[in-house]
Structure 1
């Protein structure tokens, strides 16, 4: 045992010495990083090489410094890693890469080249290509930002703000302007009002799962009418084909955990949330509130499905043409890369208004749910149905014009022939009669 202790002690001493060398150099090169590192708890226990390796020795071989990955953090935080690996954040990168519209996004916004768009938040997910790892792609530092790596920072709701805001997922805005958020803003982090971590990371669980998931979709659905609407939405997502059978995208949805694929899976997450809510409210009140939010999803799906069917009819009638590189039409996962204004409106219904309708309801913000979600959702349906009727009328007018033009170009004699029923038959009979009487005379 003593030799082992001696070896470990020697390693730690060497590590501290190595860390000191890193600090001495980086004080001149990146002093801010050094200050952050020294202010954090990790600097009191580890040297720089624990995360970055020991191959980088000078400014001439900086590229040899290893970039941390989730596995790097796992060495000291196995439980948190396992929770993370079972949750939705782990699959964030996979979910982003599965979106067809991604191919049209500039590379700095979709890849590891700067994190200037979708990738800036989705980098919290597990990235398969280890060789492509760059600064900020360690996943854990999305919340425990480098180089302080503070647990207290990650426990604040503001830590969630950079990603959970804006167009399609403004959860922070919803929460911060709800009664819960207002109490937090008035009193601070006293524990009286729930924050993001209270509900979504109870007891520090890093899985961060919810009953409905990002898309608020679950299969199957007991409500028959709701299930019909759900199928329409899943078909527009390309997850089910026209016959209701799973497509290749179904496997992506399954792998990315963006929907709930069994009642048991959904119910387990619902019961977990009930337990959280019951810390302050009665269980009956908690269930009533969450079930009311469930109903908002159903109502939003009804409106959204009607809009999808309206656009689908335009494809069926040949008024809208499916692009050659699309497998499904309409295809909600093309996002704003659609080809017509009516589909642009459908995209807004999907990723903005429907999302805000149910997200606002679950975040206890009735004003947000109604005026930023439900109201524009309904308005969009009116626009889509009105535009669809215009497009159908234009198509009918175009067809009528073609028929009129064709009629004008037809010779008069041919027109008369076409107008007289059986005219050709009468001519034939007249010819036969003439021949018959000619023979009689002979």
Structure 2
């Protein structure tokens, strides 16, 4: 009797184990992150519960563009039941963007207005950041903006007129629209104006259809745009102690930690988002990448932002998770001396070039003589590099790519000006 009972108990136990294994495998192949690795079409939580239109989206794209579905099944949207048309369904004001795709009305490229249905706070923070309208303005000037938008996004000068006289960055005119489309606009398009009146593209950082927070937190994602001769934050980060630690210990980072819960255990060294966006300690997360910055380092003459001193306190609260206040104060004091030096050098170069214009030795059109390129790069390249290097601890960019290059350029500008005066 006991033997029979134990046999039944053993069979029930084995059956339970097998059942659990089968359930785990079903999860793995259906909605788990490994589901995309199998060879036959996968089913997400969405496809199991979706409307006929959404089911058709999944069925068709599984055959026509499976890469999209692979990413989608791997992401949290799919796992949490967010359906295709939750993002791609047209909203009021998106009539110009709406197309009929297999008898279904949709917007091919959702805008922040679509995402605001679920992420309204993040969209608002993004909209007032330098990644939105302020990013788009330099490549198009005022032509894409209404008067109300220029005022709303602080694109008017103290005189009430559009910044830079409403013109795009001078280099955009030098290289032309075709070159700009695949260069300047490729990065500044993160803030491009959409046909529904919104500005920006969330997919610039949350790439693909998985919209991974882990991906957005990696420095390499920011490095898509923040690199090169005029804003080499990626290169500076890589040579800094922060970047070196990250590169050597990437496996220690919990890049997928839930928003608002980050500690130094998750991020033992900061990535770009740790300092500029993430919530850590008592600091709340934000999608406004300018919210923690004291200085505006990009213009010819670097200036302190309107809320700059308060912003610095917020940034230092993040630094204090790893550094002593004395260390922070010493670094920032030295960095601001470099910023002042770059401003001084830029003013010297501007003074020489402006004198040549005043006495009529420079033509009316800009960027048509060597000395104008030297003066432009004095701030747009060398000045910025030294400033970013100083703040982010990139010694090579402070000196050899920064102050040294400025000093060299000033010698060349002076010599060029003297030759022009002789002629």
Residue deviations 1:25-66 (CA, integer Å, cap 9, x gap): 11222111111111111112211111112786755x688544
- How far apart are 1:310 and its partner, in Å? 0.8
Q: 1:81–1:65: structure 2 CA closer, same or farther, 3 Å change rule?
A: closer
**Pick aligned residue for 2:82 from 39, 42, 46:** 46
Match of 1:20 in 2: 55
**Pick aligned residue for 2:131 from 89, 92, 101:** 89
- How far apart are 1:97 and its partner, in Å? 2.3
CA contact (8 A) 2:226 2:232 kept: yes
Residue deviations 1:161-202 (CA, integer Å, cap 9, x gap): 101011211101001111111111111153222111111113
Please tell me whether residue 172 in structure 1 is matched to residue 208 in structure 2: no
Match of 1:124, SS? Answer: helix
**Pick aligned residue for 2:121 from 70, 79, 86:** 79
> How do 1:249-398 and structure 2 match up within 5 A?
260=304, 262=306, 265-323=307-365, 338-394=367-423
- How far apart are 1:108 and its partner, in Å? 4.5
Please tell me whether residue 117 in structure 1 is matched to residue 177 in structure 2: no
Match of 2:287 in 1: 206
Gaps of 5+ in 1: 1-10, 217-232, 235-257, 324-333, 395-442
Gaps of 5+ in 2: 1-45, 91-97, 142-167, 254-266, 280-284
Match of 1:223 in 2: none
Q: Take 2:406 and 2:380, find their aligned partners in 1: how far apart are those partners?
A: 11
Q: Take 2:372 and 2:107, find their aligned partners in 1: how far apart are those partners?
A: 47
- How far apart are 1:348 and its partner, in Å? 1.4
Q: 1:126–1:74: structure 2 CA closer, same or farther, 3 Å change rule?
A: farther
Q: Take 1:89 and 1:157, find their aligned partners in 2: how far apart are those partners?
A: 16
- How far apart are 1:105 and its partner, in Å? 4.2
Match of 1:155 in 2: 217
- How far apart are 1:126 and its partner, in Å? 5.2
Which protein has greater RCO, CA pairs closer than 8 Å, 6+ apart? 1
- How far apart are 1:78 and its partner, in Å? 1.5
Q: 1:109–1:299: structure 2 CA closer, same or farther, 3 Å change rule?
A: same
Larger radius of gyration: 1
CA contact (8 A) 1:52 1:67 kept: yes
Q: TM-score, normalised by structure 1?
A: 0.67
Q: Take 2:107 and 2:382, find their aligned partners in 1: how far apart are those partners?
A: 45
Q: Take 1:68 and 1:34, find their aligned partners in 2: how far apart are those partners?
A: 17
CA contact (8 A) 2:386 2:401 kept: yes
Q: 1:387–1:63: structure 2 CA closer, same or farther, 3 Å change rule?
A: farther
- How far apart are 1:129 and its partner, in Å? 3.5
> How do 1:215-234 and structure 2 match up within 5 A?
215=298
Relative to total residues, which structure has the larger helix share, 1 or 2? 1
Q: Take 1:36 and 1:316, find their aligned partners in 2: how far apart are those partners?
A: 59
Q: 1:46–1:259: structure 2 CA closer, same or farther, 3 Å change rule?
A: farther
Q: Take 1:352 and 1:119, find their aligned partners in 2: how far apart are those partners?
A: 18
Match of 1:76, SS? Answer: helix
> Between Structure 1 and Structure 2, how many residues are aligned?
321
Q: Which moved more, 1:189-198 or 1:373-382?
A: 189-198
Residue deviations 1:124-168 (CA, integer Å, cap 9, x gap): 21515438x9xxx86111111121111111111111010101121
